[in-house]
């Protein structure tokens, strides 16, 4: 299958201080690359250089559509304990179009496999969390079947992250295992660049190949294109499709 992924659903702006591009630069580059949907997903406030609550509250000043490009308002929230608690309150999470929940080492002390399994299951049970981000770290190993079955039950997605090939190399073996099991169990996946600058946009070859080698079918990739991704969010979160056609700030 040819790589025809045309969305970017995990992207950081310079609001996360270890990322380097503005929304405007990302939008421009996305348009040049023929990307049809861009979701801004800055880090939650628990990481030292994450965005604060006001960032997420005020995303309403951005339009949801710029020409043909859909701009989604999202977050990469931090999971902060074994109960799957995340670092944004429910009243903010519910305003967002798309929420990825990830473990980042500065705000999560590792426990046992059982602890991490519970962590991810509880996060997936949170109705405002849509996907688990880069979950392949061996430091936070979990019972893959138990977590993937939960993702399937709630129609949620498991991320396969291109950035992990550069930043989290020791995760890749686990990522392969997770992807294979997603293929076997028919679990939704999202493929992402986790871009930290405009220069990362469109660089999804490695996670695409990982998905293909694992046997992921095209229909499992919920962010293959804008239509599929928006339909997925509408189906799962009960959004009205019109929500995404707004060309003016709210
Ligand atoms: Zn992350
Ligand atoms: Zn990220």
Q: Which residue has the tokens 């996360």?
A: 16
Place of tokens 């959004």: 239
**All structural domains of the chain with their residue ranges:** 7-237
Residue 167 has pLDDT above 90, yes or no: no
Which of the four pLDDT bands, split at 50, 70 and 90, describes residue 227?
A: very high
What's the pLDDT tens digit per position in 41-57?
999 999 998 999 999 99
Task: Map residue 120 onto helix, strand or coil.
Answer: helix
- Cα 3 to middle of ligand 1, angstroms: 23
Q: 201: Cβ–Cβ under 8 A, 6 or more apart, which residues?
A: 8, 11, 26, 29, 30, 33, 35, 193, 195
Q: What's the CA-to-centroid distance between 160 and ligand 1, angstroms?
A: 11
Express each pLDDT in 179-197 by its tens digit: 999 999 999 999 999 999 9
Question: What digits encode the pLDDT tens for the residues 204-213?
Answer: 999 999 999 9
Closest ligand by atom to 18 CA: 2
246 CA to centre of ligand 2 in angstroms: 26
Q: What values do phi and psi take at 183, rounded to 5? A: -65, -45
- Tell how far the Cα of 76 is from the centroid of ligand 1, in angstroms: 7
Q: Give the pTM.
A: 0.97
Q: Which residues sit opposite 99 in a β-bridge? A: 75
Q: Which helix (H) or strand (E) holds 40?
A: strand 37-43
Which ligand is closest in space to the CA of residue 196?
A: 2
Task: Quote the ligand 2 centre to 181 CA distance (angstroms).
Answer: 23
Q: Which CATH number fits domain 7-237: 1.10.420.10, 1.10.357.10, 1.10.12.10, 3.20.20.140?
A: 3.20.20.140
């Amino acid at each position: 299958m040819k790589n025809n992924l045309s969305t970017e659903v995990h992207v950081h702006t310079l609001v996360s201080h270890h990322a380097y591009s503005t929304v405007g630069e990302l939008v421009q580059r996305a348009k040049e690359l023929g990307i049809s949907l861009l979701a801004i997903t800055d880090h939650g406030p628990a990481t030292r250089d994450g965005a604060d609550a006001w960032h997420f509250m005020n995303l309403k000043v951005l339009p949801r559509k710029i020409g043909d490009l859909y701009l989604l308002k999202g977050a990469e929230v931090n999971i902060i304990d074994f109960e799957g608690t995340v670092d944004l309150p429910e009243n903010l999470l519910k305003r967002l179009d798309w929420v990825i929940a990830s473990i980042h080492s500065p705000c999560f002390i590792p426990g046992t496999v059982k602890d991490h399994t519970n962590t991810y299951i509880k996060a997936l049970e949170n109705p405002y969390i849509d996907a688990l981000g880069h979950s392949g770290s061996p430091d936070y190993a979990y019972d893959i079947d138990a977590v993937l079955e939960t993702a399937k039950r709630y129609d949620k997605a498991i991320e396969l992250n291109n950035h992990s090939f550069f930043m989290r190399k020791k995760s890749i073996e686990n990522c392969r295992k997770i992807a294979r099991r997603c293929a076997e169990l028919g679990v939704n996946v999202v493929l992402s660049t986790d871009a930290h600058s405009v220069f990362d946009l469109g660089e999804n070859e490695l996670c695409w190949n990982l998905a293909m080698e694992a046997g992921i079918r095209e229909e499992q990739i919920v962010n293959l294109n804008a239509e599929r991704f928006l339909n997925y969010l509408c189906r799962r979160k009960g959004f009205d499709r019109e929500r995404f056609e707004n060309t003016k700030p709210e």
